[in-house]
Amino acid sequence: MFEIHFNKHLLQTFKMSTTEDQQKQQLKTYNGSCHCKAITYEAEMDLSQGTGKCNCSICFKSRNWIAFIKDVNQFKLLTGKEMLGNYQFGKKTCTHHFCKACGVRVYLYGNMGNFDFICLNVPTIDNLSQKEFSELTIKCSNGASDDFYNQPEFFSHL
């Protein structure tokens, strides 16, 4: 249940469920990596669409801060495929990928049934300044109560 709701939530939150919305995106190229740089990637994203944090079990414990990529072709793993750890739970619709050497969570790969998507872990992006990170819009979700569409009562610690 968790992952299915989570996925629907992502679509609604980031309002990327139609072709028209996708065409409005202003894609930029971002490069990112885990801490030890074993895993590197390139991603085309429009971060002005917003980013997300959540109080659900996996997001809370892993301090997840996500940027949603609806088209998996906009994400390219450049190095480190052999270093990717894979973690799944529940209905296993999402695979959470982390670096087996440094432990940093890099992205998750999810499946909605009719399409796949990726959620990048925002702090792994290398070509954003601290100022730019600080200016990203963050939407908080109450995943812990299976209420992904709404902000939780307490969220400043997420």
What are the residues binding Zn ion (CB under 5 A)?
Answer: 34, 36, 38, 99, 101-102
Q: How far is CA 36 from CA 29, 32, 64, in A?
A: 21, 11, 18
Nearer to Zn ion, 38 or 120 (CB): 38
Nearer to Zn ion, 5 or 100 (CB): 100
CB of 121 to Zn ion, least distance (A): 12
Residue 5 has a CB neighbour count (10 Å cut-off) of 16
CB of 35 to Zn ion, least distance (A): 5
CB of 37 to Zn ion, least distance (A): 7
CB of 81 to Zn ion, least distance (A): 13
CB of 147 to Zn ion, least distance (A): 34
d(C-alpha 38, C-alpha 94), whole Å: 22
Q: Is 30 exposed, middle or buried (0-12, 13-18, 19+ CB in 10 A)?
A: buried
Nearer to Zn ion, 90 or 103 (CB): 103
CA dihedral 55, 58, 60, 65 (to 10 degrees): -90
Tell me 112's DSSP state. Answer: -
Nearer to Zn ion, 25 or 95 (CB): 95
Q: How many CA atoms lie within 13 A of 131 on its CB side?
A: 0
Nearer to Zn ion, 11 or 83 (CB): 83
